[in-house]
Amino acid sequence: MEERVHVLLVDDEPAITENLAPFLTRAGFKVSIASDGQQALDFLTQSRPDLIVMDVLMPRLDGRETLRRIRQEGDWIPIILLTQVGESTERAMALEEGADDYLNKPFDPQELTARIKAVLRRVRPGERPLVSATMIICTGLRFDRSARRVFVDDQEVTPTPRALHLLEYMITHPDELVSRERLLDVVWGWDYPVGTRAVDTRIAELRRLLKDDAADPRFIETVPGLGYRFIAPVEGEA
């Protein structure tokens, strides 16, 4: 029998762990539970899960600090943060601090399993993930994440803040089909009925800046009826 993927679920709210753990188990994962950041760190000293799903707001040691400590030790174990402050800064920070992905509470549990699978597909064990890279490079495109600057063929371009945010998410999640709803959630933190059009507008802006042709894309591919995918090969630098 194939080894089941081991997920460490960290949340201080028993109602959440009690309901999510059986769900994840049924979805085929092996689940362990920690009720705060400190417990999660303790757990990591004895055991090696494949992925961590962690709440941000927790007593003792919160999710953000725990994430920082894990990354400081050079540990690139995949981490999905469960954010709950709707503010865009919180979401931007989740990625900057090296979470592999994040989900806003409340979420559909199916969405969580989809995120877990997407992250595991992307991550190569032991390797520094793109989300922790400060400089991301692919042919003809350079994204300096700490300075928040983008260069196309060594010429700097200046996308609007929302387009920049969109590009950051797409380029750190290459080869992944991202739905318009997900992108809307990334840029806005909430979705609204005409919002998917707003996503299309930003994608069009990015394509213009990146000199990308929608019909024959180098960077961003449209997947009809489903969303977008960043297709160029990407490399990260510390």
Partner 1 sequence: MNWRRFLFLLPLFAGILASAWLNIFAGSNPILYVRLDLGTLLLLTGGFLSILVGAGQGFFLWVDQREERLLDDTARERRRFLSRLDHELKNPITAVLAGLANLRNAAHAASDDKTLISVEDQVQRIRRLIADLRKLSDLETRPLELDTVDIAGLLEDVYQSVLNKPETEHVELKLLIPHAPWPLPTVRGDEDLLSLAVFNLLENALKFCEPGDAIELRAFEDQNSVTIEVADTGPGIAEDEIPYVWDELYRARAVRGIPGSGLGLALVRAVVQRHSGSVSVRSREGSGTVFLIRLPV
Q: How far is the CB of 79 from partner 1 (least distance, A)?
A: 18
Q: How far is the CB of 137 from partner 1 (least distance, A)?
A: 27
- Which of 88, 222 has the CB closer to partner 1? 88
- Which of 125, 193 has the CB closer to partner 1? 193
- Which of 82, 220 has the CB closer to partner 1? 82
Residue ranges that bind partner 1, judged by CB under 8 A:
13, 15-16, 18-20, 22-23, 26, 82, 84-88, 105-110, 160-162, 188-195, 197-198, 201
Residue given tokens 């894309």 in the structure block: 217
Phi, psi of 22 (to 5 degrees): -60, -35
Q: How far is the CB of 26 from partner 1 (least distance, A)?
A: 5
**Cβ count near 149 (within 10 Å):** 13
Q: How far is the CB of 118 from partner 1 (least distance, A)?
A: 19
Q: How far is the CB of 94 from partner 1 (least distance, A)?
A: 16
Q: How far is the CB of 107 from partner 1 (least distance, A)?
A: 7
Residue given tokens 């919160």 in the structure block: 62
**Cβ count near 223 (within 10 Å):** 11
* Distance (Å, whole) CA 71 – CA 57: 18
- Which of 13, 97 has the CB closer to partner 1? 13
Q: How far is the CB of 159 from partner 1 (least distance, A)?
A: 11
- Which of 104, 132 has the CB closer to partner 1? 104
- Which of 83, 132 has the CB closer to partner 1? 83
CA angle 46, 47, 50 (to 5 degrees): 155
Contact 145, 129 (CB under 8 A): no
- Which of 163, 232 has the CB closer to partner 1? 163
